[in-house]
Amino acid sequence: MYTKNFEKFEERVFLATPTMHGEELKYIQEAYDTNWMTTAGTNITEVEKLCAEKVGVKYAVGLSAGTASLHLSMKLAGIEAYGMPEVGHGCLEGHKVFCTDMTFDATVNPVVYEGGIPVFIDTEDDTWNMDPVALKKAFEIYPEVKVVVCAHLYGTPGKIDEIGAIVKEHGAILIEDAAESFGATYKGAQTGTFGSYNTISFNGNKIITGSSGGCFLTNSKEAAEKVRKWSTQAREAAAWYQHEELGYNYRMSNVIAGVIRGQLPYLEEHIAQKKAIYERYKEGFKGLPVQMNPMDLENSEPNYWLSCLIIDKDAMCPQVRGEHEALFTPEHGKSCPTEILQAIASINGEGRPIWKPMHMQPIYRLNPFITREGNGRAVTNAYIAGGVMGADGKLLDRGVDIFERGLCLPSDNKMTPEQQDRIIEVVRACFE
């Protein structure tokens, strides 16, 4: 049980914050001096060019957020799969879409923007991403589905070969959410290249930031042109304001693009810093009944955006979570995410629970959820009541299990080794 009083950090050690270098100011100043304080300008065109080159796609479109890119990706995929909708109706209206379950809701909400019905696919052990076996089972249950949205959790690529093969077999369209994995590679190729329509994010906590912003990535010229048009309120090529289809105010600011433009040369440096943090935690936790978030290093090179840990099942003290609060019972030699997060907070550090699976979110509790065994709804309820095992002895609802036992550690790349050592001490003390 955690009982020690460690010295607090004078300044808070955050989960992940922007790491600025000074180059950003030059491009912000350029936007100011040239008076391009709008959603057009050299910074935007340079960001689009640099991102397309870095990721390895033909086209990139700068947008106000990664969520905007995901929304327009859903619109494109729905049109491709089901045809142009009537005005005022989403192109996915009434159609099911297979989605990563363990992710931030920005991956999923755009499906609903377009009238679609998210169907959540359970998580696998090796990378904590979409389980290809569960995806295959989902197509057996819902063979009519034609759109799949796959996210790469915490900067670790999922099993793209297996997922891509299943998607192709069923004539579906893959949308890749690489918001957290910019710079990560799978078999030598950057994430953001594997789907028909792909997204990276420059939100304030991402490995490269503009404070906000995102990019739509594709090899389709037609798709890029559509996104560029839709994101500027779908204005037609007329001298006056002519609108013939629904549009959105989704363009990137030239000022924000200046920040991103100044950040991009430091991507590899940031990844190296994040990797060092992960490795330091891994070494520091030796001997504890915990594991770091898994990575398929044989096939991929993550960007190590967030370092996470998961507590061994037999080392978990009792923990109960409600909708907004959590309680735990201290137990000698054991701990739980709630205790560890409270301990980190007590020294002015910031951790966070693992993403709560989407199928557990109140807004999506009536949506289908598929495990490798089939319908996962009963499994989730049974797990909460005490656990349900499959024939291989593993929990059928893997995402819930990771959520219950896992947490995100402070992973800011400005954190010093000395600060990280204190966090490691605090975590170790929780198991005393």
pLDDT by residue (tens digit) across 267-318? 999 999 999 999 999 999 999 999 999 999 999 999 999 999 999 999 999 9
> How many folded domains does the chain comprise?
2
Which structural domain range is residue 95 located in?
23-265
pLDDT at 401 over 80: yes
Q: How far apart, in Å, are the Cα atoms of 366 and each of 10, 73, 199, 377, 383?
A: 45, 24, 27, 9, 17
Provide the 8-state DSSP code for 317: P
Cβ(12)–Cβ(414) below 8 Å: no
Tokens of 30: 């350029």
* pLDDT above 90 coverage of the chain, percent: 91
Cβ(190)–Cβ(184) below 8 Å: yes
Is the same domain home to 194 and 97? yes
Summarize the confidence of residues 339-356 as an average pLDDT. 97
| Residues involved in catalysis | 206
Is the same domain home to 100 and 224? yes
pLDDT at 377 over 90: no
Backbone angles phi, psi at 265, to 5 degrees: -65, -10
Tokens of 66: 């990664």
Is the same domain home to 259 and 309? no
Q: What are the respective helix, strand and coil percentages of the chain, to the nearest 5?
A: 40, 20, 45
Is the same domain home to 260 and 312? no
Summarize the confidence of residues 56-81 as an average pLDDT. 97
pTM exceeds cut of 0.85: yes
Tokens of 10: 């004078």
Domain CATH number, residue 422: 3.90.1150.10
Is the same domain home to 274 and 192? no
pLDDT by residue (tens digit) across 136-187? 999 999 999 999 999 999 999 999 999 999 999 999 999 999 999 999 999 9
> What's the confidence (pLDDT) of residue 1?
47
Summarize the confidence of residues 67-89 as an average pLDDT. 92
